[in-house]
Amino acid sequence: MRQAALGAATSLLLDEGIAAVTFERVARLAGVSKTTLYKWWPSAAAIAVDGYFAVSAPQLELSDSGDIATDLRAQLGQFVDLMTRSVAGPAVRGLIAAAQSDDDVRLAFVVHYVHPRREIGGAALRRAQSRGQLSTKIDVQVLIDQLWGACYYRLMTEPDLVTATYLDALVDQALNGVAAAR
């Protein structure tokens, strides 16, 4: 029943967007009572986040060429493709949007979407630290925001501006800094 509910919520999210994910429709589509859904999830959007995580988790593997600049460009490029050319884009943007007015959705999104991705990104950056490519003094979670956070902001405001040229500049500036040479 839990799997059926997750599957139904994810289908609705990807096909019609976050507004279509209601207790009513998930219950009907999954053949599960609304009472049961209420017991398991605080809100319909929380089912959607859980379901989205299940389908998107396999995409989280990051490439590892041995060179951090190459890997970051490739990983950000894949992420931007996913956000702009697949149903994942509107789904994820819809979840972030829903999280702004519903703290249960925000917490579900943070636990099931943000943290798993931060952990995988953090591991890749720590690997680059151990290889001597990144400074060991930096906060890798802050670096994730400098890269992925920058992309999220642009994708949510001016998605057409997130081009390959943009990503090249982003990775180059993040790695090498922007201060004038002394």
Q: Measured between alpha carbons, how far is 98 from 8 in angstroms, rounded to an integer?
A: 18
Q: Measured between alpha carbons, how far is 115 from 122 in angstroms, rounded to an integer?
A: 10
Question: Collapsing DSSP states into helix, strand and coil, what is residue 135?
Answer: coil
Q: Does 111 bind a copy of itself (CB under 8 A)?
A: no
Q: Measured between alpha carbons, how far is 66 from 34 in angstroms, rounded to an integer?
A: 49
- Residue window 2-31: x/- pattern of binding to a copy of itself, with contact defined by CB under 8 A: ---------------xxx------------
Q: Measured between alpha carbons, how far is 108 from 10 in angstroms, rounded to an integer?
A: 14
- Taking the least distance from each CB to a copy of itself, the nearer of 23 and 148 is 148
Q: Does 106 bind a copy of itself (CB under 8 A)?
A: yes
| Cβ atoms of residues 32 and 26 within 8 Å | yes
Q: Does 132 bind a copy of itself (CB under 8 A)?
A: yes
Which residues of the shown chain bind a copy of itself in the complex (CB under 8 A)?
Answer: 17-19, 90, 93-94, 96-101, 106, 109-110, 114, 129, 132-136, 138-139, 142-143, 145-146, 148-154, 156-158, 166, 169-170, 173-181
